[in-house]
Amino acid sequence: MSNMTLLGLASVQLCDAAQSALAKYTVDSRGVRVWRERKSAEMRDLLALEQLAPRLSVQQVDMKTDLRVVLGLLMPVPCRFGSGDLVVCEEAVVGINYAQQSMLRALPGTSFAQLLWPLGVFHPSVKSGPVQAVCLGITMPPGIRLIEIVLMLYRAVVLQEHNFDERDHAGVFNVEAARWWQKNTHRIPLTTETFFDPSRMAAADDHA
């Protein structure tokens, strides 16, 4: 029986291209040993997730100090341009900044992820304007894993998990969007698809 949790990623065998990519990314990784090892482990898991999830592509990686990645994600993203109708784009480019202090500190949910493209995202947890930071919750626990951030981001953007309540003590990032979505709950979620098909992990386990 395969381990269907994210812990099972450790048993996924990276393909040759992914292993070469990992080696290339870690060459210039700086910092104390524990942090360098952590960055390598997080990157390895991300590359394993990329192998399992066709909707994910790792486009850019910078491991010099913080671990910064640019990801392509095939997922529905709600947008609105001006006062027009809602438009659902089918893909996004996401930037995630995974800092060393995330190993130790409980950080704000806005610390990690940003939608770089498309612009005009209309979502209660995404800041409006050109800097589209994503709020993933009140607090992100210390030691949260990069792949957990990716999965939380997916579930948040496609509205499988959501917070519309502007009276919530943490607030919402886009009040106008929160109010709009409160009146349009029939459109939620944008997709019921999971981030990846768990049977692919089972298949990977069988190959390992």
Q: Which residues bind other proteins (CB under 8 A)?
A: 30-32, 34-35, 38, 64-66, 68, 95-97, 99-101, 103-114, 116, 119, 125, 127, 129-131, 133, 135, 138-143, 169-173
Residue whose C-alpha is closest to residue 49's, from 64, 30, 31, 69 = 69
- Least distance (Å) between residue 17 CB and other proteins: 26
- Least distance (Å) between residue 83 CB and other proteins: 17
Q: Given the complex with other proteins, which of 57 and 100 has the nearer CB atom?
A: 100
CA distances from 109 to 140, 142, 157 (A): 6, 12, 14
- Least distance (Å) between residue 197 CB and other proteins: 29
Q: Given the complex with other proteins, which of 9 and 113 has the nearer CB atom?
A: 113
| Spatial distance between the Cα atoms of 136 and 125, rounded to a whole number of angstroms | 7
Q: Which two tokens stand for residue 58?
A: 């790792």
Q: Given the complex with other proteins, which of 66 and 205 has the nearer CB atom?
A: 66
> What are the phi and psi torsion angles at 157 (to 5°)?
-65, -40
Q: Given the complex with other proteins, which of 57 and 191 has the nearer CB atom?
A: 57
- Least distance (Å) between residue 127 CB and other proteins: 8
Q: Which two tokens stand for residue 85?
A: 């109708």
- Least distance (Å) between residue 141 CB and other proteins: 3
Q: Given the complex with other proteins, which of 24 and 30 has the nearer CB atom?
A: 30
HSE on the CB side for 121, CA within 13 Å?
Answer: 31
Q: Which two tokens stand for residue 44?
A: 């390895």
Ramachandran region, residue 131 (left: φ > 0; alpha: ψ -120 to 50; beta: rest)? beta
